[in-house]
Chains A and B, each alone.
Chain A
């Protein structure tokens, strides 16, 4: 009833091939965007921004990035944490070297630098596949973390090896540093997420995305029909790293403000983002959001239920969190191996036929 295509006639090729061909989908996305841009900034407080929404948005960008590489191009990567570190340290060096340039430009440049680094570490993908490639990207992860720990130039020779984000403004409003208002922090992340999601969605629908998917589905067949694997794989690595670099830069500048590379961008971060796209759904932009939401919200929800509502000891709740999150991951992977995005797709299919399924 609500969700249907009847009466939704397309009179041009553009209309037929648009991102959301069903009218209801378009209205829904506008409502979500309007809510996110026009309502949330007015009700958000520090807790919601710092503990829930900003990390969710930033992880969503990282998940989109990894999804392009792993979900669309089929190249398994465990280097996400390392590439986020490149974004963070690039933005730090740029921020401190050119304090007068806008932070937005620095974040985008940090994404560009990460893209170059990612493409370099993507070179082995031309020769090795699958688990072997995962191990090669694992090397990138460890090498990059070691590099940022070892070379003092990257952290401006500070005594502790920590990097701290100084205050920077956009249109006169602080978006980094301690005096940032919750809504400003949220909005700048939201703008980047929206832009990244639109770019990623359109890239994956275009010819570039099709070459990635052909490589993923069968690389030899793709080569025979004229897809250049060098170009396809390296662009996937570059574009993916660009997004991951942006998320790393935001993670450091907007979200945490002070970062220690081994702790913030260690191997566990690579796994976290990989879990996000596996739970959310490989090869789906919506899945990146769903997976990021799942893994950011769930621990907080469990903590609120366990500690604040039930009054259990904090260590017990922390241990239960691991058990419950682990069990839920297994449950989802067994019940729906294609992730939350597939569940969403099935719901949509059912809604289209409802109330007269056949």
Chain B
């Protein structure tokens, strides 16, 4: 028992000591193990490599070195909470948990602790309403805009008419997978298509009955909200029943190399959304290659550079570092606090010129964040897998979501949350 007390004191002392040192602490709640590692690993590699590259090239952000604290969550909420508690005392500036389940845990905690959360294209969609969710950001896009972009794409393909179509939603049976249902129901009422919902339980290896149902009901399109091993299995199953791949569209978490490679040539033509462009020839990759990988500092095994999720992880890191730089500029100090970073995120503006300057031209859409809108523009592109070339090919330019449908849903859901949690909406 005495040991416990001593250990407590030791931990407190260590935490107190590390707060004092001036560096930018960025926790990386990653998952490189378990059924979702195929998605978590490349994202985390990109996230860390970009910050390491900034450290090597510019000496950090604004002259302040960055320290990454990695913590393995295994996509498990209990471990995610442990990671959050273990890292927040070190002076964490921003959290990107890459898990909708963990995000739901952290939303109230982070607001109480005053640390911003950036959930890029995942998490709680209604966090786009910054007046209720002061500390949560989900720019540049979210699940509801993804659903709307998908339907808009299908509308365009079908000459603006979906009234006699049947669309099936294959989703991960969790908060993540259930998020788009409300929007799709609304859109189904608007455009008259028939929506079938098919839930796949964690971890997603067992999908025989769902695909049997798809074979029986013959929907015109299958939309998928999948992650980790579920994606690979779904693409394989679709190939097994001979479902036309070009009518099978995943969201942006179901469109990476690891999802389609196991099915080989059968996966050819599978489509997915993307919120960023994939281009392995971006100039920024050269910097990462020479300054990080060649120096032996690569996160992971260094094999993921340029892949879909690696690029997205790097994009997430870029948005975080831009917000930190913005915070430094706004406050005139280089050692920013979490609260300053939050203000920086709220004043963030990403332009084509700035992306070009950072060595990643056109990686994402232009957008700006404000107190009212933490969600960005919600634009997404549709990409298609070319199995023979082994690459994702962008089919469209950025497609805009139908905000007339989504904004009322965001307002409604965030108002419900505000009432439940006793929050008075307003800007900080």
Give chain B nearest CB distance to A36 CB in angstroms.
9
A-B contact pairs, 24 of them (CB 8 A): A35-B1, A39-B5, A43-B5, A45-B8, A47-B85, A48-B11, A55-B78, A96-B420, A149-B199, A159-B181, A159-B413, A160-B175, A161-B175, A162-B104, A162-B175, A166-B422, A167-B421, A167-B422, A263-B174, A263-B202, A303-B72, A314-B70, A315-B41, A318-B74
Interface membership of A217, Cβ < 8 A: no
B215 CB → nearest A CB, Å: 23
Instruction: Give the contact stretch, choosing among B108-116, B313-321, B392-400.
Output: B108-116
> Given known contacts A51-B81, A162-B101, A260-B104, what 13 new A-B pairs fall within 8 Å (CB)?
A46-B88, A46-B89, A48-B11, A159-B178, A164-B108, A179-B112, A256-B77, A258-B108, A262-B201, A263-B76, A263-B202, A314-B32, A315-B41
Residues of B within 8 A of A177 (CB): 108, 421
Closest to A45 in B: B12
A257 CB–B CB distance under 8 Å: yes
Q: State the Cβ distance, B253 to closest chain A Cβ, in Å.
A: 15
Is A257 within 8 A of B77, CB to CB?
Answer: no
Interface residues of A in 231-268 (CB under 8 A from B): 256-260, 262-264, 266
B222 vs chain A, min Cβ distance (A) = 21
Interface class of chain A by DSSP: helix
Question: Given the interface contacts A178-B108, A262-B201, does A50 sit within 8 Å of B85 by beta carbon?
Answer: yes
Q: Tell whether, in the assembled complex, residue A164 and residue B104 are in contact, meaning their CB atoms are under 8 Å apart.
A: yes
Q: How distant is the Cα of A50 from the Cα of B78 in the complex, in angstroms?
A: 9
Instruction: Give the number of residues in B that approach A within 8 Å (Cβ atoms).
Output: 54
Per-residue interface assignment for chain A, residues 311 to 348, with 1 indicating a CB less than 8 Å from any chain B CB and 0 otherwise: 00111011100000000000000000000000000000
Q: Is B9 an interface residue (CB 8 A)?
A: yes
One digit per residue, 1 when the CB lies within 8 angstroms of any chain A CB and 0 when it does not, for chain B 103-139 equals 0110111011000000000001110000000000000
Q: Does A32 have its Cβ within 8 Å of any Cβ on chain B?
A: yes
B101 touching A159 by the CB < 8 A rule?
no
Determine whether A198 belongs to the interface, using a CB cutoff of 8 Å to chain B: no
8 Å CB interface, A38-57 against B: 39-40, 43-48, 50-51, 55
* Partner pick for B82 among A44, A263, A300, CB 8 A cutoff: A300
Chain B CB within 10 Å — which of A46, A50, A55, A260 has the most? A260
**B34 nearest in chain A by CB position:** A318
**Neighbour of B32 across the interface among A51, A55, A315, CB < 8 A:** A315
Residues of A within 8 A of B201 (CB): 262
**A260/B77 in contact, CB under 8 A:** yes
Q: Which residues of B contact A55 (CB under 8 A)?
A: 78
B181 to A, closest residue via Cβ: A159
Residue B148 at the chain A interface, CB threshold 8 Å: no
Measured between alpha carbons, how far is A32 from B4 in the docked complex, in Å? 13
Q: Which of A142-160 contact B (CB under 8 A)?
A: 149, 158-160
Knowing A149-B199, A318-B72 touch, does A46 contact B77 (C-beta < 8 A)? Answer: no
User: Inside 8 A of A315's CB, which chain B residues have their CB?
Assistant: 32-33, 37, 41, 72
Contact of A51 among B1, B41, B86 (CB under 8 A): B86
Given contacts A47-B11, A262-B174, contact A160 B81 (CB under 8 A): no
Question: Bound state CA distance, A43 and B32, in angstroms?
Answer: 34
B86 near A47: Cβ-Cβ < 8 Å:
yes
A51 touching B82, Cβ below 8 Å: yes
Nearest CB on B from A137, distance (A): 19
**What separation, in Å, do the CA atoms of A47 and B92 have in the docked complex?**
14
Say whether B100 faces chain A, with CB atoms less than 8 Å apart.
Answer: yes
In the complex, what distance in Å separates the CA atom of A177 from the CA atom of B420? 11
- Expressed in whole angstroms, the Cα–Cα distance for A266 and B101 within the complex equals 14
Which of B12, B107, B108, B416 has most A Cβ within 10 Å?
B108
> A45–B326 Cα gap in the complex (Å)?
32
Residues of A within 8 A of B181 (CB): 159
Distance, CA A39 to CA B8, complexed state (A): 12
Give the complex CA separation of A334 and B70 in angstroms: 36
Top 5 closest pairs, chain A to chain B, by CB: A315-B32, A178-B108, A160-B175, A178-B112, A314-B72
List residues of chain A with CB within 8 A of the CB of B12.
45
Does B30 count as interface, using CB distance less than 8 angstroms? yes
Question: In this complex, which of A43, A161, A264, A315 has the most chain B Cβ atoms within 10 angstroms of its Cβ?
Answer: A315
Which residues of B have CB within 8 Å of A260?
77, 101, 104, 174-175
Inter-chain CA distance A307–B4, complex, in Å, is 20
B 1-29 binary contact with A (CB < 8 Å = 1; else 0): 10011001101100100000000000000
Partner of B1, one of A32, A166, A307: A32
| B contact residues around A160 at 8 Å (CB) | 100, 104, 124, 175-176, 178-179
List chain A residues, Cβ under 8 A from B11.
Answer: 45, 47-48
Q: Tell yes or no: B152 within 8 A of A by CB.
A: no
Closest CB-CB distance, B207 to chain A, in whole Å? 15
Residues of B with C-beta under 8 A to A32:
1
> B354 an interface residue at 8 Å Cβ cutoff?
no
Q: Contact between A164 and B124 (Cβ–Cβ < 8 Å)?
A: no
A223 to B119, CA, bound (A): 60
> Does chain A have a CB within 8 A of B208?
no
Which residues of chain B have C-beta atoms less than 8 A from A46's C-beta? 85, 88-89
Determine the residue in chain B with the shortest Cβ distance to A44.
Answer: B8
B57 at the interface (CB under 8 A from A): no
- B175 and A178 within 8 A (CB): no
Task: Report whether A318 and B32 are in contact in the complex, using a CB–CB cutoff of 8 Å.
Answer: yes
Q: Which of A45-77 contact B (CB under 8 A)?
A: 45-48, 50-51, 55
Q: A160-B179, A314-B30, A319-B33 are in contact. Are A256 and B81 (CB under 8 A)?
A: yes
Q: Which residues of B contact A50 (CB under 8 A)?
A: 81-82, 85
Q: Which residue of A lies closest to B40 (CB)?
A: A315
Report chain B residues within 8 Å CB of A39: 5
Interface status of B218 (Cβ within 8 A of chain A): no
B368 at the interface (CB under 8 A from A): no
Least distance between A81 CB and chain B CB atoms (Å)? 13
Task: Report the separation of the CA atoms of residues A262 and B126 in the bound assembly, to the nearest whole angstrom.
Answer: 23
Distance between Cα atoms of A257 and B105 in the complex (Å): 7
Contacts of B199 in A (CB 8 A): 149
Smallest distance from the beta carbon of B381 to chain A beta carbons, Å?
A: 25
